[in-house]
């Protein structure tokens, strides 16, 4: 399989690893997190699962978007393309410098073995969830950037935005 130069995962999770509840974030929107996401992913293609695509607050990129689904004849909006697997999405992005995998839980589980970078926002609270960010071998990565935000600093919760880079 040919793949992009850099495969990046981007997610926000609570301290109990929740990333979603009823196909939405389990917390109110966090502007500081959205600002970071827009900054690091600007101009990059995005790969997501069907449930993430179906989210009314879905993320998307003007550069292009791939939706992984097993559903036959699944129809997506303009600017999105259906693919059947993560590998198919990677193949379509093989000439890209960096692509972003947006989740959800199952897609993250498939993508972690390929991840060169993980942009992970930690919301310092616990939330009920039905989708969770998978455990990963943190010792295989180093944290190359850390941003801390307190309540009132463009966020209703204390958060940490960590950038993990896979060790060589």
Length of the chain: 168
- Tell whether 107 is covered by a domain: yes
pLDDT tens-digit profile of 46-97?
Answer: 999 999 999 877 889 999 999 999 999 999 999 999 999 999 999 999 999 9
Query: Rounded mean pLDDT of the chain?
Result: 96
> Rounded to an integer, what distance in angstroms lies between the CA atom of residue 120 and that of residue 41?
13
Asked if residue 76 belongs to a domain, the reply is yes
CATH code of the domain containing 97: 3.40.430.10
Secondary structure of residue 140 in the 3-state scheme: helix
- Contact of 69 with 54, CB cutoff 8 Å: no
Tell me which H or E stretch contains 82. Answer: strand 80-83
Can you tell me the distance from the alpha carbon of 109 to that of 162, in angstroms, rounded to the nearest whole number? 19
How many other CB atoms are there within 10 angstroms of residue 5's CB atom?
12
Coil, helix or strand at residue 119: strand
How many domains does the structure of the chain reveal?
1
Residue 1 lies in a domain: no
| Segments forming the whole domain that contains residue 128 | 6-166
Neighbours of 98 (CB within 10 A): 17
Q: Is residue 155 part of a domain?
A: yes
Percentage of residues of the chain with pLDDT beyond 90: 94
pLDDT one-digit tens code per residue, 91-147: 999 999 999 999 999 999 999 999 999 999 999 999 999 999 999 999 999 999 999
Q: Does residue 21 form part of some domain?
A: yes
Query: Do the domain assignments include residue 22?
Result: yes
- Give the dihedral sign, CA 1/61/8/133: negative
Q: Indicate yes or no: pTM above 0.75.
A: yes
* Phi, psi of 56, deg, nearest 5: -65, -20
């Amino acid at each position: 399989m040919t793949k992009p130069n850099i495969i990046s995962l981007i997610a926000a999770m609570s301290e109990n690893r929740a990333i979603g509840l009823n196909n939405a974030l389990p917390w109110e929107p966090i502007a500081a997190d959205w600002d970071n996401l827009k900054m690091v992913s600007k101009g990059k293609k995005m790969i997501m699962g069907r449930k993430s695509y179906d989210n009314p607050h879905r993320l998307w990129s003007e550069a292009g978007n791939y939706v992984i689904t097993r559903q036959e004849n699944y129809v997506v909006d303009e600017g999105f393309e259906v693919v059947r697997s993560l590998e198919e999405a990677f193949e379509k992005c093989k000439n890209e410098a960096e692509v972003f995998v947006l989740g959800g839980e199952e897609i993250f589980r498939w993508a972690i073995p390929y991840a060169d970078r993980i942009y992970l926002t930690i919301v310092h609270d616990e939330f009920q969830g039905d989708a969770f960010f998978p455990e990963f071998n943190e010792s295989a990565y180093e944290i190359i950037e850390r941003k801390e935000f307190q309540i009132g600093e463009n966020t209703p919760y204390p958060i940490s935005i960590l950038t993990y880079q896979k060790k060589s």
